[in-house]
Amino acid sequence: MYVLVLLGRSRCEFPWRAGLPHSFGLDSYFFTAHSFFAMSPWKVSEEYLTSNAGVDVGITQRVIGFDVLLIVGFFPCTAVLLTAAFSKRVVRSPQWFVFMAFGSWWSIQHLLLLGNQLTSRAPPHALCLIQSALIYAAPPATALSLLALFLQILLRLVECLENKSGVESLFSPALVATPIVVYAGVIILALSIGIINPEQVARDPQRVTCYHTGRTTMFVAAGIVTVICGGIMIIEGFILTKLWRNYNHIRTLNVASNAKKISFSIAIRAMIFSILPLLALIVSIVSMVMSSKDQSPTNPVANTILASLPLAASVAFGTQRDIVDTWAFWKRPSSTLLSDSQKSPNGEV
């Protein structure tokens, strides 16, 4: 990680660079790298953490931890998404794909400031403007995609248990499009405010992302998220009630080869996973409200939870048996591969 930061930052102000020419060419890279690796591990940590003039050592450590969590979470989350997309063994609903796509994109948009987080100079205004817009749009869109996933599960239960065919397919396009439309709408709003009021776009005091010092975008995003949080809890209650009351009937339906599958695993995993983003969203709302009082818009707890969401999503939805079996292809006999085409086209929720 230190090497990435070393090579990614321009004109690094490390103590051992004293006397180097202002033009930091390839020979200087080799010299700096040699000096870097020649130092003891604790000396590297000490020199690196104190090399950013005016930046608290604790903030520097938290920024590194924030970035590492996002990077570590991006790869398994993307791997799960691509596995479901290209494997015939794994069948998922469109709402599931939208949710996992937002999970992978979550890491990218939160890492846009990478290389400009700990610099003494302000990050490029255009970059900060774009990231702040994405950051404000991410919680409402991600929460909506999770709500859409729960609604899809509920509609599947209603269709199968109450013989109301076509209910799920009727609402499916809206459930897929709504998070994307809201995401685009909040981005446009944030960009408009940032362009009209460029002085409101800045790097937050925790130095992890950019934000708006104004209140409009904050209140819009917080309001949408608050409504969605309430909706998720209500839908979860309906789903749990139907699963509990119709457990045996659902198991019978899942045995039928021509019936739509109702996955207990995805429903329960989604409910367990929802605890983390709901907590993160609540903490984020509190943090955004604090920012309206001239306090830090983010805090270490919120940043840690938010940075761990992609990793949590990959663990929650990437450890299901069909996905694990797809990855462990060397353990499957060739006859198992032939059963893919025999799988129900309706698949799981």
Side-chain half-sphere of 198: how many Cα atoms within 13 Å?
5
Q: What are phi and psi of 179, to 5 degrees?
A: -60, -35
pLDDT at 242: 82
pLDDT at 17: 39
pLDDT at 342: 38
pTM of the model: 0.75
Rounded to whole angstroms, the Cα distance separating 227 from 195 reads 28
Rounded to whole angstroms, the Cα distance separating 313 from 326 reads 18
pLDDT at 25: 37
Q: What secondary structure, in 3-state letters, does 5-29 show?
A: HHHHCCCCCCHHHCCCCCCCCHHHH
CB-count burial class (<10 Å; 0-12, 13-18, 19+) for 321? exposed
Rounded to whole angstroms, the Cα distance separating 326 from 332 reads 9
Question: For residue 135, is it left (φ>0), alpha (ψ between -120 and 50) or beta?
Answer: alpha
C-alpha to C-alpha distances, 235 to 148, 226, 267, 270, 274, nearest whole angstrom = 10, 15, 11, 12, 12
The letter for the amino acid at 207 is R
Q: What is the pLDDT along the chain (349 residues), one digit of tens a residue?
A: 333 333 333 333 333 334 333 333 333 333 333 333 343 433 434 444 444 545 678 788 889 999 999 999 999 999 999 999 998 888 889 999 999 999 999 999 999 999 899 888 889 999 999 999 999 999 899 999 999 999 998 888 888 777 777 778 888 999 999 999 999 999 999 999 999 999 999 998 888 899 888 878 888 888 888 899 889 989 988 888 888 877 676 666 655 545 556 666 677 888 888 887 677 666 666 665 555 444 555 667 778 888 999 999 999 898 888 898 888 877 765 444 434 433 443 445 5
Rounded to whole angstroms, the Cα distance separating 96 from 349 reads 8
- Contact criterion met (CB below 8 Å) for 207 and 63: yes
Rounded to whole angstroms, the Cα distance separating 284 from 128 reads 19
Dihedral angle sign, alpha carbons of residues 243, 248, 254, 256: negative
Three-state DSSP class for 172? helix
Structure tokens given for 239: 């789903």
Q: Residues near 312 by Cβ (< 8 Å), separated by ≥ 6? A: 73, 273, 276
Q: Residues near 135 by Cβ (< 8 Å), separated by ≥ 6? A: 109, 110, 209, 210, 211
- Contact criterion met (CB below 8 Å) for 272 and 316: yes
Structure tokens given for 221: 């995003």
Rounded to whole angstroms, the Cα distance separating 50 from 142 reads 36
DSSP letter, residue 200: G
**Looking at the chain, which runs of residues are DSSP E strands?**
201-203, 210-212
